[in-house]
Structure 1
Amino acid sequence: MKWNMTESIKANLTYSVDTGVKPVNETMEQGNLERKYTGVFKEHAVTVHNGRPLRDKFVLDEHGFRFVDYPTRVRDFHDPDELKSVYYPEMEELIKDTSGASRVVVFDHTIRAGDKNEREKRQLREPVYRVHNDYTEWSGPQRVRDILPDEAGNLLKYRFAVIQTWRSIRNRIEADPLAICEASTLLAKDLILTERRYPDRVGETYQVSYNSNHRWYYFPMMARNEVLVFKVYDSQTNGGARFTAHTSFTDPTSPPNAKPRESIEIRTLAFFDP
């Protein structure tokens, strides 16, 4: 299988416009896969670099992401029992290996499909075509309180991170790949606090405003045995990567008969020894 090995492509990414009003991103009730968004969005043409030739140079704590070969024993990603018994432990070990965390807890996963019929058939979510980061200064620690309420008081005394993984679950990713922004090029002034409403709770994410200094990467034609690991929150404030903006985008080099994307993302809490 061949993939685009050019150094970079030009693509349109959808950024948010900071209007001074806090946007809202709402997930509907169970069984309704639609989202409601408020806010103003604008597309910007950016350079997206092919990360494959540089894959061994990326460091999680510096760039905010790693790209690795990591085969899985999962046969059916749509089987929730197999995910929890096989895939969750695999991702916990992968994140320990890539981050140096001593303990990793998977707390969530989302399967997305580019094909509308597949989404409706399996109750899946669509790719997200807006530049964002999933957790904020408030919602990162709050997720520890939500998931591990009895331990949170002690765990929050020490370093922890929210780290995610992203993988194709069927074919190579021929359409709607994930672009990821080098963390050092993402500034605090670029982050827009956004209310994240769920049927059972209210959280907070960052949408992102355009900055010409953002440096974007993607990994064309990702295969099922490849994983993108990226950090969306880190309590450590020593100058390393803390937030890593990302988005799905329309790849202008996708073949005209590209297969619809199917992917899974895993969200974890990663705890570090004092």
Structure 2
Amino acid sequence: MARNALSGLDTEHMKAAADVAAPLTFIVPQTEKPALYSAAYTGGVPDFGFAVEDHDVLVADMRPHGATFTLDREGFALRTVPTQVADLYDDGAVEADYFDEVRNLLTQELGASHVAVFDATRRSDGGTGASNKDGNRGPASRIHVDYTAKSGPQRAKDVLGAKEFDRLLNSGARIVQVNVWRPIRGPVQRSPLALADATSIAPATMVATDQVFPDRVGEIYHLSYDKDQRWYYVPEMTRDEVLLIKGWDSLEDGRAQFTPHSAFPLPSQTDATPARESIEVRTFVVIE
């Protein structure tokens, strides 16, 4: 191990062959509210106006637990759902056909009355990244949650409309932000996703961070390190598999509301390892 941040854990505790010790990147807590200046704002690469630190942690194989992990307890779930879309780089096919697949999946998974798809992002850790309408994207390498207790409902209002948002909540409906993450090519052998078990995350470790765009300021969480956090990933994830990742939940009854996650380097990967290519679709799921 490169550091002693595993707090006494060693390979004898790695019961599954695919468990790994790997560095994850955490925010360093600070007095002032941190800010992230987006690529759209800087006109180049994002500017992270805060300090980060790496800690080596145990990232466990999710597969032995795949059937039992849920969005409401751990905050994420693994499903085998092949796609009929041959080219996930084809914007037309993604918007016309893949979005329908995502809607059908989440309708069945959560008993949704409506699924609003509002974004799709491709990422690659090879070369200049994966192409998107708004530019190329690489993996997100700092542990984060896409939304916060403040920005989750605001984004839902933006997507669903403020009147519809209020109507739904006043009628007792539930609104859940869910990302559907799929490899474009598989198996994933480089820069997979690490996901934190929501039951192991202390609220004080989630650091609200301004996300600055040219026309607005959003908010996400970054995560500070805690030795009690539990981490999982999917070894050799295939194109037929998807991760469902919860970003926000309108219910505040003790179930998972937020799922910290990040790309991370595998100990086995090299420059010759095929690049990770993935697509994530962001949705709001309405359950009436």
Instruction: Tell me the CA shift for residue 233 of structure 1.
Output: 0.6
Distance 1:82 1:12, change over 3 A: same
Instruction: Tell me the CA shift for residue 99 of structure 1.
Output: 2.5
Matches of 2:99 and 2:125 in 1, distance apart? 23
3-state SS, counterpart of residue 46 of structure 1: strand
2:123 to 86, 104, 112: 112
1:36 counterpart letter in structure 2: D
Q: Which moves more between the two structures, 46-55 or 147-156?
A: 147-156
Q: Which residue does the alignment assign to 1:181?
A: 196
Q: Which residue does the alignment assign to 1:126?
A: 138
Instruction: Tell me the CA shift for residue 31 of structure 1.
Output: 11
1:153 counterpart letter in structure 2: D
| Structure 1 residue 151 corresponds to structure 2 residue 151 | no
Q: Which residue does the alignment assign to 2:30?
A: 19
Is the 1:33–1:125 Cα contact (8 Å) retained in structure 2? no
Residue pairs, 1:189-208, within 5 angstroms: 189-208=204-223
1:112 counterpart letter in structure 2: R
Instruction: Tell me the CA shift for residue 7 of structure 1.
Output: 5.0
Structure 1: runs of 5+ lacking an equivalent: none
Q: Which moves more between the two structures, 8-17 or 141-150?
A: 141-150
3-state SS, counterpart of residue 155 of structure 1: helix
What is the CA RMSD across the aligned residues, in angstroms?
2.0
Instruction: Tell me the CA shift for residue 147 of structure 1.
Output: 1.3
Q: What per-residue deviation string (whole Å, max 9, x for no partner) do you get for residues 215-235 of structure 1?
A: 100001111110000111111
1:141 to 134, 149, 153: 153
Q: Which residue does the alignment assign to 1:98?
A: 109
Q: Which moves more between the two structures, 21-30 or 114-123?
A: 114-123
Distance 1:120 1:73, change over 3 A: closer
| Structure 1 residue 235 corresponds to structure 2 residue 247 | no
1:40 counterpart letter in structure 2: A
Distance 1:169 1:120, change over 3 A: closer
Instruction: Tell me the CA shift for residue 238 of structure 1.
Output: 1.3
Q: Which residue does the alignment assign to 2:7?
A: none
Identity %: 36
3-state SS, counterpart of residue 212 of structure 1: coil
Matches of 1:127 and 1:218 in 2, distance apart? 15
The number of equivalent residue pairs is 269
Q: Which residue does the alignment assign to 1:34?
A: 45
Is the 2:179–2:246 Cα contact (8 Å) retained in structure 1? yes
Matches of 1:265 and 1:200 in 2, distance apart? 24
TM-score, scaled to structure 1: 0.92
2:92 to 81, 100, 110: 81
Q: What per-residue deviation string (whole Å, max 9, x for no partner) do you get for residues 97-130 of structure 1?
A: 2223322111011100111245479832010111
TM-score, scaled to structure 2: 0.88
Distance 1:121 1:244, change over 3 A: closer
| Structure 1 residue 226 corresponds to structure 2 residue 241 | yes
Q: Which moves more between the two structures, 189-198 or 112-121?
A: 112-121
Distance 1:120 1:135, change over 3 A: closer
Distance 1:106 1:117, change over 3 A: same
Is the 2:128–2:136 Cα contact (8 Å) retained in structure 1? no
Q: Which residue does the alignment assign to 2:224?
A: 209
Instruction: Tell me the CA shift for residue 81 of structure 1.
Output: 1.4
Q: Which moves more between the two structures, 23-32 or 89-98?
A: 23-32
Q: What per-residue deviation string (whole Å, max 9, x for no partner) do you get for residues 26-82 of structure 1?
A: 222399562111111000110000011221111221111110100111122122111
Is the 1:51–1:217 Cα contact (8 Å) retained in structure 2? yes
| Structure 1 residue 72 corresponds to structure 2 residue 89 | no
Is the 1:60–1:99 Cα contact (8 Å) retained in structure 2? no
Matches of 1:74 and 1:178 in 2, distance apart? 23
Matches of 1:74 and 1:29 in 2, distance apart? 30
Instruction: Tell me the CA shift for residue 255 of structure 1.
Output: 5.9
Q: Which residue does the alignment assign to 2:5?
A: none
Is the 1:105–1:270 Cα contact (8 Å) retained in structure 2? yes
